[in-house]
Structure 1
């Protein structure tokens, strides 16, 4: 009996030693390793371990974190996530807390942010855009790490997602997403139209006479689609007159979070060829085509469909379905 007990004890010790060497255990302790990334400001952000409690101040960045499959780390989001129907409906499929509206909302899209509420959530990382200077300064002065995004163009969007992935312990996942999108972008740039159509992009909420100029994010997406930005002005967000619209004479007018009637009801534009020919389109629902995320590629593909009939609705639907399966890592979401 004594020999038997010694054998059992010895076997138990061996099992414990083998378990301590198991790669699974090594993976579990990897969250205690310091992580470093560079944000859109060129600032190096170093955390003692991968972020576990993340507050996000803008909708597009919430979407980014769910793409990275790090949604469980989110403890604070913008109020708009619950108010924008298509966004709320989709993200509810990924997180019961979104569906139940139980994640705290300490901000309204970076505006009217409640610093005290953010601090109360005890975040080890805050994600926001680099234009959100007041919140960035307040939070960093309180010792809370802030990682910023710019979403200036396709290269920045991919690079910033990869760096965010480092801080969230999702570097491999970020590489999968950005690798796929980069390859799709490469294919699109290799198949451009010989006679590109001109697209006029109107800002949201009925701001028809506000557009995006050369060098902007929207300009990049329009060019990627194989079309040409009707606005030749190298200004981020110029306001124009009806006279200027006639001068530019776009082939298509694209609306974002606006209604067709916002254009068709304007007497000053009723003689514009794009209006007379019913070449006004609404990017709706907007969630699948958010150009501030890697879905700028899908934004460009939707534009391509409207500009080039040979790229059919069926092909577009297939491309969107495949893209969602890859960028969210799950089938049947759309």
Structure 2
């Protein structure tokens, strides 16, 4: 059987194209994917991560925002224990409902390095404060991408870095653009007196707050309010007399109860307490400031501080934001 010149030429062209594609793929595999983490360390993977262990609930949340939950092989047990987090993520993943994703932890708290290793991850995601685990895992040759979530810029950069390593960079950039646009809208000055906000830490730690330069300070300022704490400290402990001196217009609690404030005799005469201006971020999941949802934290504070930003407007903004952040409608219903 004779082979026509046309057929021969076509075969040669296809062969050249195939070799070119193989060379490009080989080059891509050789270069891998790279991203700088919160330490300024370049994390390089031969290919996008397929088996990911996440050691903090906030970072699990961001993996779901990136629509990369199929990569999860290990998560903190707290995801199953935190009622609002479990309820929401159950809408996105039947494995959360069934509690079938492994939890490589000791009693739901400290991480178990041996259990992490047994999951054969090609990437671990954690905060940069997790020094012991980071060192052990990296010594075992497991790549670790760290987060700081210290401010707006770091949250954006770290989300895009994670997205790059999970082959979800375009999705990460889409989320960042949406949040940046929302933040820009909030930058418009409000024609109302600025209020001072005192933020209290979780679990009833009313006398522990967040100072200037902190993540909470950033979110409060974004709302249009001012942080009542003038100290340049991440998490100062203060006395009741100091809070009287600062005289906040309202107090905001995280994972605490309003009774934690109202039952404190030493704060009973504080105007914010007497005027019932103590508010609780509950449920806390929609307002996690360690993620791009710091924008929603700020919107909630804005509603409490400025009556012109109504509950109806807040609810509309929340619904729209969740549709955008998770790429699925109706999640807040």
TM-score by length of 1: 0.90
Alignment of 1:192-271 (within 5 A): 192=190, 194-271=192-269
Give the secondary structure class of the aligned counterpart of 2:236: coil
1:202 positional shift: 0.3
Q: Give the aligned partner of residue 147 of structure 2.
A: 149
> Equivalents in 1 of 2:296, 2:191: separation in Å?
17
Q: Is the 8 A contact 2:252 2:280 kept in 1?
A: yes
Give the secondary structure class of the aligned counterpart of 1:144: coil
> Equivalents in 1 of 2:197, 2:132: separation in Å?
35
Q: Give the aligned partner of residue 135 of structure 1.
A: 133
> Equivalents in 2 of 1:54, 1:247: separation in Å?
48
1:233 positional shift: 0.5
Q: Is the 8 A contact 1:55 1:125 kept in 2?
A: yes
Q: Give the aligned partner of residue 126 of structure 1.
A: 124
Deviations 1:66-87 (A, max 9, x none): 0000000000000100000000
> Equivalents in 1 of 2:108, 2:158: separation in Å?
18
1:212 positional shift: 0.4
Q: How many residues align?
A: 321
Q: Give the aligned partner of residue 51 of structure 1.
A: 49
Alignment of 1:1-334 (within 5 A): 34-107=32-105, 111-192=109-190, 194-334=192-332
Deviations 1:173-207 (A, max 9, x none): 00100000011111111234552100000000000
Q: Is the 8 A contact 2:77 2:108 kept in 1?
A: no
> Equivalents in 2 of 1:31, 1:101: separation in Å?
36
Q: Is the 8 A contact 1:203 1:256 kept in 2?
A: yes
> Equivalents in 2 of 1:109, 1:223: separation in Å?
38
> Equivalents in 2 of 1:250, 1:203: separation in Å?
16
Give the secondary structure class of the aligned counterpart of 1:105: coil
> Equivalents in 1 of 2:188, 2:269: separation in Å?
36
Give the secondary structure class of the aligned counterpart of 1:104: coil
Q: Give the aligned partner of residue 25 of structure 1.
A: none
> Equivalents in 1 of 2:77, 2:144: separation in Å?
20
Q: Is the 8 A contact 1:110 1:132 kept in 2?
A: no
Deviations 1:9-61 (A, max 9, x none): x9xx99xx79x98xxxxxx9999571100000000000000000000000100
> Equivalents in 2 of 1:165, 1:192: separation in Å?
35
Q: CA RMSD in A?
A: 2.5
> Equivalents in 2 of 1:85, 1:111: separation in Å?
16
Q: Is the 8 A contact 1:58 1:109 kept in 2?
A: no
> Equivalents in 2 of 1:289, 1:307: separation in Å?
16
> Equivalents in 2 of 1:156, 1:107: separation in Å?
27
Kindly tell me: are residues 127 and 30 of structure 1, through their superposed partners in 2, closer, same or farther at Cα, counting changes over 3 Å? Answer: farther
> Equivalents in 1 of 2:237, 2:26: separation in Å?
54
1:112 positional shift: 1.4
Q: Is the 8 A contact 1:82 1:101 kept in 2?
A: yes
Give the secondary structure class of the aligned counterpart of 1:282: strand
Kindly tell me: are residues 287 and 252 of structure 1, through their superposed partners in 2, closer, same or farther at Cα, counting changes over 3 Å? Answer: same
> Equivalents in 1 of 2:191, 2:284: separation in Å?
25
Uncovered stretches (5+) of structure 2, i.e. residues with no partner: 19-24
Q: Is the 8 A contact 1:79 1:108 kept in 2?
A: no
Give the secondary structure class of the aligned counterpart of 1:258: coil
